[in-house]
Amino acid sequence: MKKLLILLFILFLSACSADEQRVEEMIDRMAASEELSEILAFGFVTEIENDGTNVLYDLHLTVEDTYDDMTYTEQEEVFEKIISFLETESGNAAGDLDCGEDYTCDLRSLELSTFTSENEYSIEYGPSVSAISKNGEPYKDDAEIAAAEAAEQDTDAVTESSNEEAANTSGSTETESTDTETFAAAASYPDTDFSTADGEDWVQLSDDEKYLMVSQAIDTFNSSGKFVITEGPEWFLDALNAFYGDGTTSEDQAVSAEKVSDVMLLSGLAGGVFVE
């Protein structure tokens, strides 16, 4: 009789549980997909809430160690591919999982863990990647950090009227043009092209060459018609030097592959210097 009661209890619990085998099969399909097979190894879900009808899960996925070496943008793209796969599976962006006809199963968060380092990268599930946490701490792109530091260092506030701002902008443009011509007469133009220059190139340039490269970049951005740039070369020189350092530390070398053009753009947008 006791064994019969235990068996009935087990059957009752099974009947009150979502069909996680369907979820596991979905994870297997994800790991075998063309978009994620090279980075994703396997995964599982952990149940967070269950009221008998609605179930909330966290999705844990193990990824290859190469994920640690990716840039923030590349790591973000992996999360976006996972979200896209889940949207395709469920037919919507709500994070619904197929776990049986009698249940509604949703995702609360996505977590990616690497094999060797066991670093954990996580996001709150949604239709897009809002922010990545690493080992429970806020995790930012190095370019964003440098841009924020540059913005904090820039204590000059715009307090004049719009007419005064227009006059200052005009005067600033003339001054910058004169300064550029003066530097061009005194220094040779850097051999490195702005469009391809990275951190390794930047730290090898002289101060005059850096000034000329940034001046060329400002002219390029201005001619695109997409932005109004409210600061001169000096602001960007401070931001780039803060980001790349002198190229000797491990932190400097970790960002040396980032292009000068990308860092200028991110710094300008984050610091409010690039106005669209």
Determine the pLDDT at residue 9. 33
Of 269 and 190, which is predicted with more confidence? Answer: 269
Rg of the chain over all Cα atoms, to the nearest angstrom: 26
Determine the pLDDT at residue 170. 52
* CB 96, CB 90: distance < 8 Å: yes
Q: How many angstroms separate the CA atoms of 185 and 127, rounded?
A: 53
Residue 127 has pLDDT above 70, yes or no: yes
Of 178 and 66, which is predicted with more confidence? Answer: 66
Closest CA to 114 of 24, 57, 39: 39
Q: How many angstroms separate the CA atoms of 113 and 64, rounded?
A: 8
Block residue for tokens 């009808």: 53
Single-letter residue type at 137: E
Most confident of 78-82, 115-119, 183-187, 212-216: 78-82
Residue 86 has pLDDT above 50, yes or no: yes
